[in-house]
Amino acid sequence: MNKITHFFWFCAGVQRETLEKFPEEQHKYVGIGATIFFTALFATLSGGYAMYFVFSGSAFAIFFAALFGMLWGLAIFNMDRYIVSTLNKNKAGWMQFLQALPRIVLAILIGLVISRPLELKIFDKEIRQHLQGQYLQQQKARIDTLENTFNKKYNLSIGQLTQQKRERDSLDTYIQNSRKQLNYEIFGNKTTETSGIQGYGPYAKRKEDELTKQQQYLDSLRARIDSQESAIQQHKKNEGLLDQKILANASLDSLVDLAGFADRNSALGRLKYKSNNTIDTATENAVNFIGLLFIFFECLPVFVKLMAGRDSYDIEIQNIRKIKQHESEMMVTAETQAIDRLEGAQIDIAINQRMEKLTAKKEED
């Protein structure tokens, strides 16, 4: 238990020897240290999750995600620890706020960055469904575009084929009706177009010859249609139109798994819109409140330190700083006085050295 307490004291950036003098303040700094630690932990998870999507598909995705997550978490931990430990509680409240203001602004930005990857995980199911619909719609649009381009390019051939098919269908219907009339003529069924006399007469012979010619023409027409369809199918193959297919569920799942951070982030931004382009306030509020929660959580270490009153530990730290400052000033004063005293001695030494040189010169003369 003591190791955990000491670890959280370290996270809070306190002087352990000084804090141990004030047992009543120790739990407060355990709470501050725990807040800093868990903020860094959330930053590690969020940064690693975001980097995992950046390197998704790579064999080193997990390695880079873990490495970046730890670096990001350590950076946030170090920043929070520095700000909290250097926040001077002996200043006025507004001065403390001004001192912490840059960190609060940075915390808002960091909170936005931290919250986004975790929001992507929270709404993962909805994002996958949205991406599947988006990819399916894009594939349909791609196929429609290719078909329109193909139809414009081979408009003449397609028009001829359509006309031939109409002629084939019309001729096939005519031949079927004519065969019925021929059978009526042979079996003696009286209609407006038959004689009603049973037997194979001249009318039946003429009708059968006409049907034979019509059938031959129909067969040749069908052959031309088959040839034309084969040519068009070959053109479609050459243009790559036959390679385009509506994506199955397995293919859509594979595409969604390969979707990067940008695609998922864009899909999350569009979740608040319904199919009729109106805003879904429930989804929008859920996303916004989750973001605000992480922003508040990121600002929490600074807020906890700001809300904490000036305690015995803060007073002791201030006294230690005053003593150290006074000792430093006294050392400066002592060194200055010593230098001043040495200055007079150095002048006397310089005068004596000069006099000795002059005396020696006179003796030589």
Last residue of a domain, one of 263, 295, 310: 310
Same domain for 157 and 230: yes
Categorize the per-residue pLDDT at 88 as very low, low, confident or very high, splitting at 50, 70 and 90: low
Q: Is residue 287 part of a domain?
A: yes
Count of beta carbons in the 10 Å neighbourhood of residue 53: 19
pLDDT confidence of residue 130: 79
Q: What is the pTM of this model?
A: 0.56
119 closest CA partner among 50, 39, 41: 50
Quick one: DSSP state of residue 310? P
pLDDT confidence of residue 70: 92
Q: Is residue 264 part of a domain?
A: no
Q: Which two tokens stand for residue 91?
A: 């200043």
Q: Is residue 128 part of a domain?
A: no
Q: Kindly report the average pLDDT of the chain as a whole number.
A: 78
Same domain for 319 and 306: no
CA pair distance 326, 334, nearest whole angstrom: 12
112-168: pLDDT as tens digits = 777 777 788 788 888 888 788 777 777 787 777 777 877 787 788 878 888 888 888
Whether 47 and 73 have beta carbons less than 8 Å apart is answered as yes
125: helix, strand or coil = helix
Same domain for 8 and 88: yes
Q: Is residue 76 part of a domain?
A: yes
Same domain for 352 and 284: no
Q: Is residue 110 part of a domain?
A: yes
**Residue 238 or residue 257, greater confidence:** 238
Q: Is residue 266 part of a domain?
A: no
Categorize the per-residue pLDDT at 324 as very low, low, confident or very high, splitting at 50, 70 and 90: confident
**Residue 175 or residue 69, greater confidence:** 69
Percent pLDDT > 90 in the chain is 2
Task: Give Cβ neighbours of residue 181 (< 8 Å, ≥ 6 apart).
Answer: 191, 193, 194, 207
Cα–Cα separations (whole angstroms), residue 130 to 120, 201, 237, 241, 268: 12, 73, 32, 26, 9
Same domain for 103 and 46: yes
CA pair distance 361, 365, nearest whole angstrom: 6
DSSP 217-248: HHHHHHHHHHHHHHHHHHHHHHHT-TT--PPP
Whether 51 and 331 have beta carbons less than 8 Å apart is answered as no
Count of the separate structural domains present in the chain: 3
Categorize the per-residue pLDDT at 20 as very low, low, confident or very high, splitting at 50, 70 and 90: confident
Q: Is residue 203 part of a domain?
A: yes
Same domain for 72 and 48: yes
Residue ranges making up the domain that contains 322:
312-365
Whether 199 and 187 have beta carbons less than 8 Å apart is answered as no
